[in-house]
């Protein structure tokens, strides 16, 4: 703006400044939208381990029941 000599130059620079401010506000709005959308997102994970039937023993060495169902978490 310091080098602008005509009123037309000042108006053009002002219009560019307004344009870039609008672009900055637009990007800020998009960032806010994505942050809020990410905050509401949830991921659900289900792990199912299948095990062949085997005898489980306790620490004392006593046999436990046969386990044939998958573990569900």
pLDDT digits (tens, 9 = 90+) for 27-71: 999 999 999 999 888 888 888 877 665 555 544 555 555 555 555
Flag whether 1 is in a domain: no
Domain coverage including residue 17: 7-72
Tell me if 2 is assigned to some domain. Answer: no
Q: Domain tally for the chain?
A: 1
- Flag whether pLDDT at 19 surpasses 60: yes
CA distance 68 to 52: 6
Distance (Å, rounded) from C-alpha 12 to C-alpha 25?
20
Between 6 and 20, whose confidence is greater? Answer: 20
């Amino acid at each position: 703006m310091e080098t602008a000599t005509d009123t037309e130059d000042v108006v053009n620079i002002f219009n560019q400044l307004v344009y870039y401010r609008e672009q900055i506000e637009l990007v800020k709005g998009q960032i806010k939208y994505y942050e809020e959308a990410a905050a509401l997102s949830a991921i659900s994970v289900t792990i199912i381990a299948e095990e062949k039937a085997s005898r489980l023993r306790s620490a004392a060495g006593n046999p436990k029941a046969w386990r044939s169902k998958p573990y569900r978490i």
